[in-house]
Amino acid sequence: MSQVAIEFKAELTPVTAAPAWQVLVTVGKPSLLIAPRVSPRTQRYLREREINFFDLTGNAFWRLDSPGLFICLTADSDASKAQPFVRRRKLGGKKAGRLLRHICDTKPPYSVSELASTLTIDPGNVSRYLDLLHNEGLVERKARGVVTHVDWEGVLRRWSEDYKRPAEHRFHDPRGAEHFLKSLKSAKSRYVLSGVVAAGSYAPHTVANSALCYCEDVGAFGAAFGLQRSDRNSNVTLAAPFDEIVYARTQTRDGRVVAAPTQVVIDLLIGRGRELSQAEELIRWMRDMEEAWRG
């Protein structure tokens, strides 16, 4: 029989996990942290450091030497399963997205007041979002709350847990996605490409057979390019931008306007299959080329 030292945390993040674990291991027994919910970001942090944990949604990492035991489970991360113990704070909505795009696109330092003024967001909201990111180990703050470091990759992955495009509509171009992309060179209204096709303009890998395009008036934009609404056989997705920040730091590649890498990544991270693999390729490119895209 083996005795285990256990600590229950109402909220388990990289910031709260480290000190709790240090106290547990001094007991000299196998240790385990338990929480209502452990976010995917925190799960990665704990597994990388071999910190044992369980949560009430079914995620677990537990290694025992005597008796020999190893459990590693990744389950449904639905926060509702952890109720009524904790209410998960979210990073959804236009204001959160505006802030997250900005701190990923630009290097610190910056203060709450500077961010609030630049982004036209209430200082209280900025402070709350930064507190959340700080508690999850994604930003570092010094005196008076000044942000001194941003883990942009971690922020994007954390944002993807809550990010949703406000509205998107699927269309079919009978002449193919490539025809639509070529036609964009003559576009009369504002747009920006994202997703796989935009990722390929930064870190080319495979030819895209579909396109994601943000525009102001989906119906008028689709009609201007002869697109047909189609859910089954779509090769073009037109989406309404969640905020003006979608159009920030765009680039023109081959005569087409493409979104900033941070926007492209977040759109890929909420996808599936090929989109997720393309997201990882683009993130690798962003790590290597940070000086080129981050201001």
Rg (CA), the chain: 22
Determine the residue type at 287. Answer: R
Q: How many other C-beta atoms are found inside a 10 Å radius of the C-beta of residue 16?
A: 18
- CA angle (25 as vertex; 24, 31 as ends), nearest 5: 70
Q: 174 forms bridges with which residues in the sheet?
A: none
Nearest-angstrom CA–CA distance, 11 and 41 = 13
Cα distances from 240 to residues 26, 119, 192, 199, 224, in angstroms, run 53, 20, 11, 19, 16
Q: Which residues contact 219 (CB under 8 A, 6 or more apart)?
A: none
Q: 53 forms bridges with which residues in the sheet?
A: 33, 61
Nearest-angstrom CA–CA distance, 115 and 33 = 35
171 by DSSP, 3-state: which?
A: strand
Cβ atoms of 221 and 189 closer than 8 Å:
yes
Q: Which residues contact 204 (CB under 8 A, 6 or more apart)?
A: none
- Domain 94-160 matching CATH 1.10.10.10: the answer reads yes
- Model confidence at 1, in pLDDT bands (50, 70, 90)? low
From start to end of 67-203, where are the E strands? 69-73, 139-141, 147-150, 167-172, 191-194
User: Using one digit for the tens of pLDDT, what is the confidence trace for 165-188?
Assistant: 888 999 999 999 999 999 999 999
Nearest-angstrom CA–CA distance, 120 and 116 = 5
At residue 23, does pLDDT exceed 70? yes
User: Using one digit for the tens of pLDDT, what is the confidence trace for 94-146?
Assistant: 999 999 999 999 999 999 999 999 999 999 999 999 999 998 889 999 877 89
Nearest-angstrom CA–CA distance, 49 and 39 = 16
Here the tokens at position 73 are: 């489970």
One fold for 94-160 and 167-293: no
Query: Where in the chain are the domains?
Result: 5-82, 94-160, 167-293
Write down the pTM of the prediction. Answer: 0.78
Q: How many other C-beta atoms are found inside a 10 Å radius of the C-beta of residue 73?
A: 11
At residue 48, does pLDDT exceed 90? no
* Fold (CATH) for 167-293: Beta Polymerase; domain 2 (3.30.460)
